[in-house]
Structure 1
Amino acid sequence: MKILHIITQKPNSTGSGIYMCGMIKGFEKIGHEQAVIAGIDVNDNVNCFSSDVSFYPVKYNCGELNFPVVGMSDSMPYESTRYRDLNVEMINRLKHQFKINIDRAKEDFKPDIIICHHLYLLTAFVREIVKDIKVMSVCHGTCLRQLNTIDLEKEYIISNIKKLDLIFALHKKQKNDIIKTFGVSDSKVVVIGSGYNDSVFYDKNYKIKNDKIRIVFAGKICKSKGLIPFIKAISRLIYRKDLIEVNFAGTGSDVESYNEIVKLASQSPFKMNFLGKLDQSDLAELFNKSHIFVLPSFYEGLPVVVLEALSCGLDVITTDIPGVREWIGSEINDSGKIEYVTLPSMHGEGIPNEEELPIFEKNLYNAMDSKIQYLLSNLEKRLFVDMSKKTWDGLAYRMNEVISMDEMCLI
């Protein structure tokens, strides 16, 4: 089968892009031929995929698209254009440039199906212009947040997303949100979960230096990731200053937010390092040399990084993001390797009510203090959890099974 993947943004810099790349690798092992249309900056390397994958890059910051790559979140790990700042002319130019590559891919690659990423503007446009090929899409969660927070092309998006042949949701709550938002039938939305790259992220059984507790965060450096209360909570911990070290892996495009977070971290009694964006192998090394991974985020789809951290042997503290507990499963949830912190209530998508942040900060503090106390008594006894069912290969096989069962799909 020939599968064409389409995403508006960069294919290897965010959770959704990494998710797509993981799908591609899994589908390669199944034997499918694949092509990709994705947005990149004019100065980015176009060698994003193996030679077996045809790549049709849409280049930003040049020609008609004389603005940075659009981002599904307002803060991206690279220079980006917010959807809320697009005007009608910019939208039309974006559609035109993607249509050129869609037409090329249809002519050259001749896909049997198209899988888009995000239930948003480009996916709606693909469904509008592609009538003769099945079009499916993966919801990553951030698209629903955009739809709920800004009015950009809202009716156009909803009307065309309704016409998709199939929608993949990350978890049951998201499926219900999709059905409610777009008015699609239950049978059109399939819960498929997530995955991770087990060839990169695995427990290397290093003999970690136990002279200090190493805590790590990986993701965008922005306020919606909960980093302000996270840093405040760590800074309140009552331990000697050289016992705790915190590493932040990632970048943020919101300079003001980034600088505020770095400044707050510089005032902590504990050492806090901002390492910038790490490639997957370097991040796996960092995980293997650390003790605790913390994801204090106010909003996520289904964060792959939690799976990556667990697979490297880390103990994990994460906010109780809808769908994560369900996807992780009772075996891992009951293992003692992962702890969930209750989220504050929100007055918008990923925007917490300020009056509840002190309680949230206290809960983060208690979770980290408890985990550190446990580790100090058990540093030589690193628990192992089986992550074999959570890989990208597993995700690809699940998706393939769903696609293959659809009688209208050409196989």
Structure 2
Amino acid sequence: MNIGFLTPEYPHPKTGKSGGIGTSIFNQAKALVDLGHEVRILVYGQDGDDYFMEDGLHFHKIKNIKVKGLSLFLTQKKVERVLNALYVSGKLDIVEAPDWTGFTAFVRPKCPLVIKEHGSDTYFCHLEQRPVKFKNKFLEKRAFTKADGIISVSAFTGKLTNSLFKLKRDFTVIPNSIDSTLFEAKTNDTSTLTILYFGTLIRKKGLLELPKIFNLVYKKNTKARLLLVGRDSTDIKTGSSSTWELMQPLFDESAFNNVSYLGAVAYSEIQELIGKSTVCVFPSFAEALPVSWLEAMAMEKAIVASNIGWAKEMIEDGKEGFLVNPIHHEQYAERVLELLDDTSKQKQFGKAAREKVIAKFSMETVAKQSLEFYSQLIH
């Protein structure tokens, strides 16, 4: 099968920065190639038009057309021409694109077009309780309406998306995946009690709650240290250019001495940092099905995460980790402290978490689910 992924991001030096959508496509593409299928990564918003091949993947860089007031529409039509040329030449059977800002609203390829719900702008604005731009909501709804098929990374995301757009689209739940052979358990460094957060420093991921939680942890266990890893970001609510700057005054002075922020690190370094951590924390308010959680689970880490929506599709509270609402600071801190003090529970949760990743979120398992969905649409 010839499969295309149309995306604004992909984790490759030639295609620029990438977030969760790009990482998800990276894992999916690798698994599909390993299963013997041909995969094309079409990345728009690039510095120029280009094609190259690497690790069995075909890459198409697409430069946006810039004409005042018409840039988006003209770029969509340019992408449509690229897709149709590949289809006509027998190099493309189906294309998948994310729902973010509805880029495919006016893209009508000759092959089936699948929208994968990683979380639209409308979806995240709703979870963050802030207004969505009319243009984005219009484009996203049109993209959903015109798509030949819908995949959602979680049932929660699919149901909420239908509700927000007043749609009754059928969707198939196919989660994000990870390479469980790449993220494997490593021996804990028991000399330090490290609480690790890795991901973007941003309000929607609960980073302004984390200082308040850690203050409570530190009061009861002064050996605990908090390690933050990930790129800083602007704060949409206050207009601040740095979420990290907003976080710092929220820490008690004594607790702050045990806080370290490394900034963004290479993807390969993340595994080492996860391996050395004691507990991983994810106090997020807005996700669809985060890959970072899967990475920590695969490495058999004890986790305290948010209990909102999607979380229960990943972690069963008290079995593979603890789930707590991020605004309940005391309860969240108590769960972290419980795991810091109980090495047997750390191992119990970690082992159960990895077993779940292998059974439900491994790359090969998820790739086969996607292939079955693609085949139904093509035929």
Question: Where on the TM-score scale, by shorter chain, does this alignment land: which range?
Answer: 0.7 to 0.9
Residue 90 of structure 1: CA displacement? Answer: 4.5
Task: State the aligned residue count.
Answer: 356
2:159 & 2:2 partners in 1: Cα distance? Answer: 30
Q: Give the 3 Å change call, closer, same or farther, for CA 146–39 of structure 1 in structure 2.
A: farther
The match for 1:281 is 268
Residue 318 of structure 1: CA displacement? Answer: 0.3
The match for 1:64 is 66
Q: Give the 3 Å change call, closer, same or farther, for CA 309–46 of structure 1 in structure 2.
A: farther
2:162 & 2:313 partners in 1: Cα distance? Answer: 19
1:388 aligns with 2:358: yes
SS at match of 1:393: helix
Q: Deviations over 1:127-168 (max 9, x none)?
A: xx32x2111111012444267522115334423421211101
Q: Give the 3 Å change call, closer, same or farther, for CA 223–382 of structure 1 in structure 2.
A: closer
Q: Give the 3 Å change call, closer, same or farther, for CA 265–38 of structure 1 in structure 2.
A: farther
The match for 1:363 is 331
1:35 pairs with one of 34, 40, 47: 40
Residue 23 of structure 1: CA displacement? Answer: 1.0
> Which structure 2 residues correspond to residues 74-113 of structure 1 after superposition, within 5 A?
88-92=69-73, 94-95=75-76, 98-99=79-80, 101-102=82-83, 105-106=86-87, 110-113=91-94
Residue identity in the other structure for 2:268 = S
Contact 1:8 1:122 in 2 (8 A): no
1:403 aligns with 2:378: no
Contact 2:11 2:22 in 1 (8 A): yes
Residue identity in the other structure for 1:272 = V
1:203 aligns with 2:154: no
SS at match of 2:262: strand
> Which structure 2 residues correspond to residues 329-340 of structure 1 after superposition, within 5 A?
330=316, 333-335=317-319, 337-340=320-323
SS at match of 2:194: strand
> Which structure 2 residues correspond to residues 244-323 of structure 1 after superposition, within 5 A?
244-254=224-234, 255-262=241-248, 264=250, 267=253, 268-323=255-310
1:179 & 1:112 partners in 2: Cα distance? Answer: 27
Q: Give the 3 Å change call, closer, same or farther, for CA 10–152 of structure 1 in structure 2.
A: farther
The match for 2:129 is none
Residue 56 of structure 1: CA displacement? Answer: 1.0
The match for 2:56 is 52
Q: Deviations over 1:102-124 (max 9, x none)?
A: 45544666311111112542122
2:153 pairs with one of 145, 170, 173: 170
Residue 11 of structure 1: CA displacement? Answer: 4.5
SS at match of 2:162: helix
Contact 1:35 1:109 in 2 (8 A): no
Q: Deviations over 1:202-242 (max 9, x none)?
A: 113x2x3322211111111112211122112212322454x
1:326 aligns with 2:309: no
Residue 181 of structure 1: CA displacement? Answer: 3.9
> Which structure 2 residues correspond to residues 235-246 of structure 1 after superposition, within 5 A?
235-237=215-217, 238-239=219-220, 241=222, 243-246=223-226
1:232 aligns with 2:189: no
Higher-RCO chain (CA-CA 8 Å, sequence separation at least 6): 1
Residue 51 of structure 1: CA displacement? Answer: 3.8
Contact 1:10 1:40 in 2 (8 A): no
SS at match of 2:118: coil
CA RMSD of aligned residues (A): 3.1
2:176 pairs with one of 189, 194, 197: 194
Bigger shift: residues 208-217 or 137-146 = 137-146
2:270 & 2:208 partners in 1: Cα distance? Answer: 22
Residue 256 of structure 1: CA displacement? Answer: 3.0
The match for 1:134 is 112
Identical aligned residues as a percent: 18
Residue identity in the other structure for 2:373 = V
Residue 399 of structure 1: CA displacement? Answer: 1.4
Residue 15 of structure 1: CA displacement? Answer: 1.1
Residue identity in the other structure for 2:378 = C
TM-score, with length taken from structure 1: 0.77
Q: Give the 3 Å change call, closer, same or farther, for CA 55–109 of structure 1 in structure 2.
A: farther
Residue identity in the other structure for 1:261 = M
> Which structure 2 residues correspond to residues 145-160 of structure 1 after superposition, within 5 A?
145=123, 149-160=132-143
Contact 1:166 1:189 in 2 (8 A): yes
The match for 1:219 is 199
2:314 & 2:306 partners in 1: Cα distance? Answer: 14
1:3 aligns with 2:3: yes
2:246 & 2:314 partners in 1: Cα distance? Answer: 33
Residue identity in the other structure for 2:22 = G
Residue identity in the other structure for 2:7 = I
Q: Give the 3 Å change call, closer, same or farther, for CA 196–110 of structure 1 in structure 2.
A: same
The match for 1:74 is none
TM-score, with length taken from structure 2: 0.82
